[in-house]
């Protein structure tokens, strides 16, 4: 009996999980292909929400998707582990051994055969080799890192609250290096935390004792977005008493301060790096695949890698060309969502001997959420191509809809509606911030 065509997707982020869900429903359910997902975690949390997990305004346990349970429901297989090598001649990937919290081996290194391989491993922070960044900065690349940050944040508040009780110096300085969307939104969430936590027994530490600073090397925050949006975001951060420092490259990170390019020092008890991204380093070492300086796999407009007809890549880890542009598709959640949809059609066509679907990125605009305070953004008109500035409740509605669209892709409309209702009930019953 002829075996089914095996499609292996590596990476269960927003794009990867949406892709296997679609392929599982279309191909796996009808036994037209075997679909497998490989990821080194057991659960998925939408990456744009990690800063909310870090601040405590979002409980990850109520918003995560268990890969095994989801795989059973949507007709694909799940393999726990991290891809660390590729054998193109035998069409196999090598999955590293998996160890438990005590370092004991649970599953040994193994190989997984594929007929079509899709790599969607996302991105990691790029510290540009800044001295001290790896040793003294916190990062938000994964759920584990976000949860660790939240634990350290609560401990910092407890420690400073006790110092205030004793009458000792107790200022808490939090610095965010990088004022892209993640850095700006995290700043607003941390300001909310500084105002909410004293309500829960930390009443000796005042919000004014907590300094939140956003530091950007460019001459304005949100440098990749329109100037009007940047100006509105700057005004909102200052209204929330967040310090905004632009044109200020960081030359060194120390345990208690930041050293700027001009030699000045900024006190910092907690430092978060949010200044840039790059694809995982192991991609540049894979056999025979073309990568760029940021470790991204170079792909054609169909998302097929340039050197192998059986390997595709998309999302932050892929450099995909855009028609009539010398810039690749930007590393954004909406791009990964669109690419997953296009690639699902291409892979279905591939099984039927039909032509692939060229990917054309459509920019729907950008939205920046300032926690419970406000939301600002711009939406792109489909016909005119012009952007429309929005803010307040309307912008917040569009911002929330982005996550709901991701949930619809994973669960369908009915279940997403149930999840939305459960979220409403959870918010009514629990504190605004996660306190443990």
**Structural domains of the chain sorted by starting position, each given as residue range(s) with its CATH number in brackets:** 6-123+279-351 (3.50.50.60), 133-275 (3.50.50.60), 365-429 (no CATH)
Report residue 253 as tokens. Answer: 């990170």
pLDDT digits (tens, 9 = 90+) for 199-213: 777 888 899 999 999
Q: How does residue 383 score in pLDDT terms, banded at 50, 70 and 90?
A: very low
More confident residue, 110 or 392: 110
pLDDT above 50 (res 1): no
Higher pLDDT, 355 or 101: 355
How far is C-alpha 62 from the chain's CA centre?
17
CA distance 221 to 239: 15
Mean of the per-residue pLDDT values of the chain: 92
Q: What is the predicted pLDDT for the residue at 252? A: 97
Q: What is the pLDDT of residue 196?
A: 87
147/150 Cα distance (integer angstroms) = 5
φ/ψ (deg, to 5) at 356: -70, 165
- Give the single-character DSSP code of 2: P
Lowest mean pLDDT among 159-163, 381-385, 389-393: 381-385
- Burial environment of residue 341 by CB neighbours within 10 A (0 to 12, 13 to 18, 19 or more): middle
Distance CA 415, CA 250 (A): 46
* pTM, two decimal places: 0.92
In this predicted structure, what is the pLDDT of residue 199?
76
Going by C-beta distance under 8 Å and a sequence separation of 6 or more, which residues neighbour residue 313? 118, 119, 120, 297, 299, 303, 305
State pLDDT tens for residues 44-62.
999 999 999 999 888 888 8
3-class SS of residue 84: strand
Which pLDDT band, with edges at 50, 70 and 90, does 84 fall under? very high
Q: What is the pLDDT of residue 311?
A: 98
Residue 279 has pLDDT above 50, yes or no: yes
Length reported for the chain: 436
Q: Tell me the C-alpha distance between 147 and 152, whole Å.
A: 9
In the block, residue with structure tokens 């005119």: 384
| Contact (Cβ atoms closer than 8 angstroms) between residue 311 and residue 117 | yes
Report the sign of the C-alpha dihedral through residues 374, 376, 381, 382, in that order. negative
The reported pLDDT for the residue numbered 423 is: 83
């Amino acid at each position: 009996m002829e075996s089914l065509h095996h499609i292996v997707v590596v990476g269960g982020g927003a794009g990867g999980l949406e892709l296997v869900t679609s392929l599982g429903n279309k191909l796996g359910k009808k036994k037209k292909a075997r679909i497998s997902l490989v990821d080194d975690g057991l659960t998925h949390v939408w990456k744009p929400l990690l800063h909310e997990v870090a601040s405590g305004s979002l409980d990850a346990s109520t918003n995560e998707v268990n890969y095994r349970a989801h795989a059973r429901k949507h007709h694909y297989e799940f393999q726990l582990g991290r891809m660390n090598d590729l054998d193109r001649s035998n069409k196999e990937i090598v999955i590293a051994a998996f160890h438990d919290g005590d370092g004991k081996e649970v599953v040994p290194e193994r190989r997984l055969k594929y007929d079509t391989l899709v790599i969607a491993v996302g991105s990691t922070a790029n510290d540009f080799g800044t001295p001290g960044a790896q040793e003294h900065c916190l990062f938000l690349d994964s759920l584990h890192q976000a949860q660790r940050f939240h634990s350290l944040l609560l401990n910092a508040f407890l420690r400073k609250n006790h110092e205030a009780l004793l009458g000792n110096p107790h200022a808490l300085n939090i610095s965010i290096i990088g004022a892209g969307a993640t850095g700006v939104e995290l700043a607003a969430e941390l300001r909310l935390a500084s105002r909410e936590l004293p309500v829960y027994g930390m009443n000796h530490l005042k919000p004014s004792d907590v300094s939140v600073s956003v530091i950007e090397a460019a001459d304005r925050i949100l440098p990749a977005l329109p100037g009007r949006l940047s100006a509105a975001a700057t005004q909102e951060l200052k209204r929330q008493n967040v310090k905004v420092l632009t044109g200020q490259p960081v030359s060194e990170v120390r345990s208690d301060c930041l050293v700027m390019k001009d030699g000045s020092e900024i006190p910092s008890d907690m430092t978060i790096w949010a200044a840039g991204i790059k694809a995982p380093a192991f991609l540049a070492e894979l056999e025979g695949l073309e990568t760029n300086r940021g470790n991204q796999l170079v792909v054609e407009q169909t998302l097929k890698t340039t050197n192998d007809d059986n390997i595709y890549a998309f999302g932050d880890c892929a450099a995909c060309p855009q028609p009539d542009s010398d810039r690749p598709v930007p590393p954004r959640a909406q791009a990964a969502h669109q690419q997953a949809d296009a690639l699902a059609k291409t892979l279905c066509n591939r099984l039927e001997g039909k032509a692939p679907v060229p990917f054309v990125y459509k920019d729907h605009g950008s939205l920046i959420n300032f926690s419970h305070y406000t939301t600002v953004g711009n939406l792109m008109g489909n016909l005119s191509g012009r952007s429309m500035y929005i803010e307040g409740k309307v912008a917040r509605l569009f911002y929330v809809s982005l996550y709901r669209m991701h949930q619809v892709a994973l669960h369908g409309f009915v279940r997403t509606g149930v999840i939305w209702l459960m979220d409403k009930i959870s918010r009514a019953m629990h504190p605004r911030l996660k306190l443990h």
